[in-house]
């Protein structure tokens, strides 16, 4: 008798024994059968013959319990033979059916057998098992079967977590349907299973929201609140099919909600998540669920801003999903489908004449291959490990491996490969070589990008404002970049824009010493090397100019013996001498540096490599900035300010009474000197100048020369020690400070729109209310005690209320206090009635009440600029003129804006009241090259005056005509065209109704047309017409304005 006949004879005997086994000896017989089947059966006909008999036994009520217990033992995780596995998996439908058998013993045996099978199979064969479970769950009407199948799926998640994660798109809809079942037991089991299945969602961004997402499936009323929660979420982790499978049901429902805010947030989430999809095939299965909703919302939403956000999400989804121009959906890849892999393997096996009885094995191999393709496994050894044990059932091992490798090669062609990074051309010690993702707020900055740094190299980090340059530097310094060396392995020091204001009163020496960087003697020596004098070393930090503060921060960083210096705008506030010193220092110190700077000349002189933000990746270019621009022409704006297509626009200033030409002085300073209290000499001495609407002035000079002090006196931030400062009564000045963030640092949790509303809600600019020229000091209070003799009574001015034109000047309405018993102990001053108010000329008031007069002048100046409604639309339009998107203006907190975006906000807020004079102190700080070019062009086109303090000759060379050179407190003007009176330029005509007017609620006021003056004959004619109508109509007659 042959081996085959012998095996079949034994198996037949075992099947007969199994059929008559009693409950008492069932287990022994089942173990005996399992041991033989899982043993080394040489002839492979035997398993097929045996399982045909076993499956019949499972369906037979009399033998089902015995057969099912046999399956349980065969499927023992440690003993299951690869030659048995493909056959026993085909029993799953029959086993599932028996889990709802009325016989409790059969039901229990079936449940146990199914769970044993789930735990025993090869994890990469999930595609062979899960379709059986999904079909059973969807098609059965028996709740007991559903509960057991759900338990099996739960077990499968533990047994094959990574493989189930790839099957989530097809699994979640089936589980969702089970959650809506009418049977409580099924609902509970389905909720438990879907909760377990979501463990495969390896996405930290949504981990804490998964319970809410599951709740939304069962209760759609929770969708709006969950969308709100996710709308404020930062997405940085790679988005996988498992992540989308749990998110898409929520997003599809969110897009269909009635509230526009929910539709908008759903679009924001789609936009943010899709940016993190690496492979279009990941999102392809979900396009049909998301694309129609976005398209419909874009066509139907009334809110323009929400429609714009929806369009952005739509564009991102189309781009990431490779959607055609006519919205034809791309074909979903079927490379890993069992039908596809089965076709390929059948084609490869054509010449091998594989017997039909091995069909279950071939199908099982196809399922395994499909999973390997879905997992993007391309390693030859992995394919051999997973597939060879099954292929050798019907082929010799050598032939099996040949076919497997050919199968693998065909599959690899369909597997997307990750990006290849170019290695640096030169060699050197690696300080860092890592791959990471980065986000800030709700914005994705970098996704799975590589950063490689070598010792003693200098890297320039380039990208537009908001790309995340400073955020990346801060994340590196704080140890938040995955894979970046720790401080113990590589000391990394971040040199920020500015020193924290809490150290304002700390001396320079103590500030550096507090950083634990060495002895005071060593620190003093190093500071001297950096150019600090002994006097400066002992000075408080607050008394240093911006340039010296930056130099101090640099010195402190160097003293910490850094391996990597992170320099964020290091040339900010530095004059040309100190910039040259910094260039020399960085080029010779031998420390690796990453530099963010908008100074193109500085980057050209320092950098050996440029790291550029491109499509959520960092790409490295060898060479300095000019070499980078040659390789990447689209970055031309980094090198030439005028190359940017970005445009800014400043609002047109209002009309100034009495100013007939742009040459007439609107600010005039004569013989002005200023000295801070407690200092040994004046900061600025005997300075005279004037500014007009045509002024284009550059204020230049070394650090600490007194430039900012001069401007502070001009704008009223400081009062001069001696001298006169005249400002036109209606002149509005926008002043952007050197440390621009000072304007907004206490409003970081407001949106830009809320900040502008807060700042101007009273009609005045709250930022200017604490200026020195508006505060009443002791000298002012003493002068305001002046007694006026009016209508024979002694009076003091209580308040100044209004202003009106009087000849060539103004007069002001004043209310008074009436003096009684003046000069006596019983002297008192009693408020007078409003009927006793009087109008006094300006010349009489300015001697004693100049600041009260100035307050009225300012209110009139604001009124002449017309009231701007503080509506969202008006604010968004104004901010858009300065490069801020509506998404940032109305929906992002100031805290989350980049440095450049904050400067744009300060510019927008400063120019809200349509100023006549814009004063910019170091405007090039923090703005990217595109924005600098746009600012330069906007200032050229501005109809008012411009004063700029800057060290950037590139920025001012084509912009300014007049130069104020400040050095050692003395100002030397050049290029000026100061005039007395109106000057000889073109006349300025007052424009009537030049813009729409609005009331305080933002409603448009319709301005009536100016009436034509009628002649005497025309007046008589109109009177006759009125009398005639009155006679005809009698009491019904009502006159109209047009009749006069």
Q: What is the pLDDT of residues 1012-1036, one digit of tens each?
A: 677 788 888 888 888 888 777 777 6
Tokens 């006196």 sit at which residue?
A: 713
> E-assigned strands of 133-258?
none
Q: Are 267 and 259 in contact (CB under 8 A)?
A: no
Characterize the bridge pairing of strands 809-820 and 838-841: antiparallel
> What average pLDDT does the segment 254-274 reach?
88
Q: What are phi and psi of 222, to 5 degrees?
A: -85, -5
Indicate if the pLDDT at residue 418 is higher than 80.
no
Q: Are 551 and 601 in contact (CB under 8 A)?
A: no
Q: Give span(s): CATH 3.40.50.300, the chain.
A: 430-643, 665-745+755-773+897-974
Listed as own residue / partner, the contacts of 258-264 with beta carbons closer than 8 Å and 24 or more positions apart are: 259/224, 260/301, 260/302, 260/303, 260/306, 261/306, 262/223, 262/224, 262/227, 262/228, 263/297, 263/301, 263/306, 263/310, 264/301, 264/303, 264/306, 264/309, 264/310
Confidence of residue 648 (pLDDT cuts 50, 70, 90): confident
In tens, the pLDDT along 796-844 reads 999 998 888 887 788 999 999 999 888 888 889 999 998 889 998 888 8
State the pLDDT at residue 363. Answer: 92
- For the chain, residues classed under CATH 1.20.1390.20 are 338-412
Instruction: Look at 949 and 516; give whichever has higher pLDDT.
Output: 949
Note the CATH architecture for domain 1-121.
Alpha Horseshoe (1.25)
Does the pLDDT at position 916 exceed 60? yes
- The model's pLDDT over 150-208, given as tens digits with 9 standing for 90+, comes to 999 999 999 999 999 989 989 999 999 999 888 999 999 999 999 999 998 887 778 88
Query: CA-to-CA distance for 30 and 14, rounded, in angstroms?
Result: 9
- Three-class DSSP category at 1001: coil
Cα–Cα distance measured from residue 553 to residue 532, given in angstroms and rounded to the nearest whole number: 12
Q: What is the pLDDT of residue 129?
A: 93
* Least confident span in 254-258, 311-315, 686-690, 931-935: 931-935
Helix (H) / strand (E) containing 234:
none
- What pLDDT does residue 5 have? 64
Give ranges for CATH 2.40.50.990 in the chain.
774-864
| Model confidence at 965: pLDDT above 60 | yes
- Between CA 867 and CA 651 the distance in angstroms is 14
CATH code of the domain made up of 430-643:
3.40.50.300
665-745+755-773+897-974 domain in CATH 3.20.20.70? no
Helix (H, G, I), strand (E, B) or coil at 465: coil
Query: CA-CA distance, 811 to 842, in Å (whole number)?
Result: 5
Measuring CA to CA, how many Å separate 815 from each of 28, 263, 607, 800? 112, 57, 67, 6
What's the pLDDT at 438? Answer: 81
Q: Work out the percent of the chain whose per-residue pLDDT is above 90.
A: 16
Q: What is the CATH number of domain 338-412?
A: 1.20.1390.20
Query: Which of 236, 290, 241 minimizes the C-alpha distance to 263?
Result: 290
CA–CA distance, 319 with 274 (Å, rounded to integer): 9
For residues 692-704, give the mean pLDDT. Answer: 85
DSSP 940-956: HH-SSEEEEE-S-HHHH
Lowest model confidence (mean pLDDT) among 294-298, 690-694, 774-778: 774-778
Q: What is the pLDDT of residue 135?
A: 93
**Would you place residue 133 in the very low, low, confident or very high pLDDT band (cuts 50, 70, 90)?**
very high
The answer to whether 587 touches 606, Cβ cutoff 8 Å, is yes
Q: Where in the chain is the domain with CATH 1.25.10.10?
A: 1-121
994-1015 pLDDT tens trace: 455 554 444 555 555 556 677 7
135-162 pLDDT, tens digit per residue, is 999 999 999 999 999 999 999 999 999 9
Q: CA angle 892-898-904, nearest 5°?
A: 85
pLDDT reported for residue 930 = 66
Burial (CB < 10 A; 0-12, 13-18, 19+), residue 699, is buried
Q: What is the pLDDT averaged over residues 323-344?
A: 81
pLDDT score for 929: 64
Query: Is residue 530 within 8 Å of residue 556, measured between CB atoms?
Result: no
Q: Output DSSP code: residue 456.
A: T
> Looking at residues 438-450, what average pLDDT do you find?
74
- Segment among 358-362, 454-458, 718-722, 754-758 with least mean pLDDT: 718-722
Q: In this predicted structure, what is the pLDDT of residue 1000?
A: 46
Q: Say what the pLDDT of residue 958 is.
A: 75
On average, the pLDDT of the chain sits at: 82
Q: What is the CATH number of domain 774-864?
A: 2.40.50.990
What radius of gyration, in Å, describes the C-alpha atoms of the chain?
41
The lowest-confidence range among 81-85, 220-224, 542-546 is 542-546
CB-CB neighbours of 985 under 10 Å: 16
- 843-862 exposure pattern, b = at least 16 Cβ within 10 A, e = fewer: eebeebbbbbbbbbbbebbb
Q: Does this model's pTM top 0.75?
A: no
Residue 550 has pLDDT above 80, yes or no: no
Asked if pLDDT for residue 401 goes beyond 60, the answer is yes
Q: How much is the average pLDDT of 531-553? A: 79
Of the two residues 644 and 10, the one the predictor is more confident about is: 10
C-alpha to C-alpha distance for 286 and 271, rounded to whole angstroms: 14
**Which of the four pLDDT bands, split at 50, 70 and 90, describes residue 712?**
confident
% of the chain residues with pLDDT over 70:
87
Q: Supply the pLDDT for residue 740.
A: 67
pLDDT for 369 equals 92
């Amino acid at each position: 008798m042959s081996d085959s006949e012998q095996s079949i004879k034994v198996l037949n005997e075992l099947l007969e024994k199994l059929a008559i086994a009693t409950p008492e000896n069932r287990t022994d017989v089942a173990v005996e059968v399992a041991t033989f089947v899982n043993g080394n059966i040489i002839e492979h006909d035997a398993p097929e013959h045996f399982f045909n008999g076993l499956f019949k036994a499972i369906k037979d009520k009399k033998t089902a319990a015995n057969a099912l217990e046999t399956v349980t033992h065969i499927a023992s995780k440690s003993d299951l033979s690869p030659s048995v596995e493909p056959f026993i998996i085909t029993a799953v439908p029959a086993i599932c059916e028996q889990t709802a058998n009325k016989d409790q013993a059969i039901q229990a045996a079936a449940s146990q057998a199914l769970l044993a099978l789930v735990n025993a199979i090869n994890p990469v064969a999930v595609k062979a098992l899960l379709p059986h479970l999904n079909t059973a769950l969807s098609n059965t009407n028996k709740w007991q079967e559903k509960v057991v199948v759900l338990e099996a799926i739960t077990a499968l998640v533990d047994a094959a977590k990574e493989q189930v994660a790839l099957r989530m798109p097809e699994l979640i809809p089936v589980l969702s349907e089970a959650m809506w079942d009418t049977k409580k037991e099924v609902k509970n089991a389905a909720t438990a299973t879907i909760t377990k299945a979501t463990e495969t969602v390896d996405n930290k961004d949504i981990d804490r929201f998964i319970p809410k997402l599951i709740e939304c499936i069962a209760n759609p009323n929770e969708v709006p609140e969950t969308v709100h929660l996710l709308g404020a979420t930062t997405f940085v982790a790679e988005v996988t099919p498992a992540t989308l499978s749990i998110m898409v049901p929520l997003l599809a429902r969110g897009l269909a909600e009635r509230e526009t805010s929910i539709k908008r947030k759903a679009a924001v989430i789609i936009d943010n998540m899709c940016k993190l999809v690496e492979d279009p095939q990941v999102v392809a299965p979900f396009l049909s669920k998301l694309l129609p909703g976005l398209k419909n919302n874009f066509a139907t939403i009334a809110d323009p801003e929400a429609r714009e956000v929806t369009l952005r999400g739509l564009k991102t989804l189309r781009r990431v999903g490779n959607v055609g121009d006519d919205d034809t959906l791309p074909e979903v890849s079927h490379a890993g489908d069992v039908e596809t892999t089965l076709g390929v393997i059948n084609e490869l096996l054509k010449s091998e004449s594989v017997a039909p009885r091995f069909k279950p094995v071939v199908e099982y191999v196809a399922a395994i291959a499909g999973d390997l393709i879905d997992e993007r496994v391309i390693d030859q050894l992995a394919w051999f490990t997973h597939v060879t044990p099954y292929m050798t059932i019907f082929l010799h091992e050598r032939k099996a491996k040949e076919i497997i490798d050919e199968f693998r090669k065909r599959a690899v062609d369909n597997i997307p490969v990750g990006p290849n990074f170019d290695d640096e051309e030169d060699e050197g010690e690696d300080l860092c070589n890592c791959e990471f993702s980065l986000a800030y707020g709700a914005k994705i900055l970098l996704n799975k990008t590589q950063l490689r740094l070598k010792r003693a190299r200098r890297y320039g980090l380039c990208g537009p404002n908001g790309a995340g340059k400073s955020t990346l530097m801060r994340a590196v310094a704080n140890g938040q970049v995955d894979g970046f060396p720790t401080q113990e392995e590589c000391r990394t020091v971040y040199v920020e824009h500015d020193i924290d204001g809490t150290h304002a009163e700390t001396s320079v020496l103590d500030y550096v010493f507090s950083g634990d960087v060495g002895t005071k003697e060593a620190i003093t020596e190093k500071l001297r090397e950096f150019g600090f004098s002994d006097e400066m070393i002992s000075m408080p930090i607050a008394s240093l100019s911006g340039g010296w503060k930056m130099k101090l921060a640099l010195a402190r960083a160097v003293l910490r013996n850094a391996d990597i210096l992170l320099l964020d705008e290091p040339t900010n506030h530095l004059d040309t001498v100190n910039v040259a010193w910094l260039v020399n220092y960085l080029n010779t110190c031998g420390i690796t540096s990453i530099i963010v700077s908008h100074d193109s000349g500085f980057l050209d002189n320092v950098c050996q490599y440029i790291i550029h933000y491109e499509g959520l990746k960092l790409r490295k270019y060898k060479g300095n900035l000019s070499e980078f621009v040659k390789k990447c022409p689209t970055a031309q704006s980094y090198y030439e300010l005028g190359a940017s297509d970005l445009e800014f626009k400043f609002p047109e200033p209002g009309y100034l009474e009495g100013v007939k030409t742009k040459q007439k002085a609107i600010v005039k300073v004569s013989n002005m000197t200023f000295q801070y209290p407690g200092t040994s000499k004046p900061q600025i001495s005997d300075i005279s100048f004037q500014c007009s609407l045509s002024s284009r002035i550059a204020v230049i000079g070394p650090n600490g020369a007194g430039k900012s002090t001069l401007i502070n006196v001009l704008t009223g931030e400081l009062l001069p020690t001696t001298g006169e400062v005249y400002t036109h009564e209606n002149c509005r000045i926008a002043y952007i400070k050197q440390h621009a963030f000072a304007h907004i640092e206490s409003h970081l949790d407001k949106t830009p729109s809320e900040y502008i509303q807060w700042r101007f809600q009273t009609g005045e600019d709250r930022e200017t209310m604490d200026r020195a020229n508006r505060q009443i000091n002791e000298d002012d209070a003493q002068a305001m005690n002046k007694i006026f003799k009016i209508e024979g009574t002694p009076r003091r001015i209580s308040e100044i209320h209004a202003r009106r034109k009087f000849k060539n000047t103004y007069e002001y309405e004043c209310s008074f206090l009436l003096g009684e018993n003046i000069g006596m102990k019983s002297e008192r001053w009693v408020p007078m009635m409003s009927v006793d108010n009087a109008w006094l000329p300006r010349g009489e008031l300015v001697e004693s009440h100049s600041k009260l007069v100035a307050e009225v002048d300012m209110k009139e100046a604001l009124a002449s600029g017309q009231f701007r409604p503080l509506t969202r639309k008006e604010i968004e339009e104004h901010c858009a003129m300065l490069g801020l998107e509506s998404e940032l203006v109305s929906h992002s907190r100031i805290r989350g804006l980049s440095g450049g975006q904050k400067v744009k906000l300060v510019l927008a807020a400063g120019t809200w009241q349509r100023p006549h004079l814009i004063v910019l102190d170091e405007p090039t700080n923090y703005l990217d090259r595109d924005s600098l070019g746009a600012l330069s062009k906007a200032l050229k086109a501005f109809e008012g005056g411009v004063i700029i303090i800057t060290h950037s000759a590139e920025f001012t060379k084509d912009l300014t005509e007049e130069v104020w050179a400040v050095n050692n407190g003395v100002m030397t003007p050049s290029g000026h065209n100061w005039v007395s009176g109106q000057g000889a330029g073109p006349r300025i005509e007052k424009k009537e109704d030049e813009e729409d007017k609005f009331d305080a609620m933002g409603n448009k006021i319709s301005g009536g047309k100016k009436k034509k003056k009628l002649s005497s004959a025309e007046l008589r004619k109109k009177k006759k017409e009125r009398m005639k109508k009155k006679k005809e109509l009698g009491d019904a007659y009502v006159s109209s304005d047009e009749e006069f």
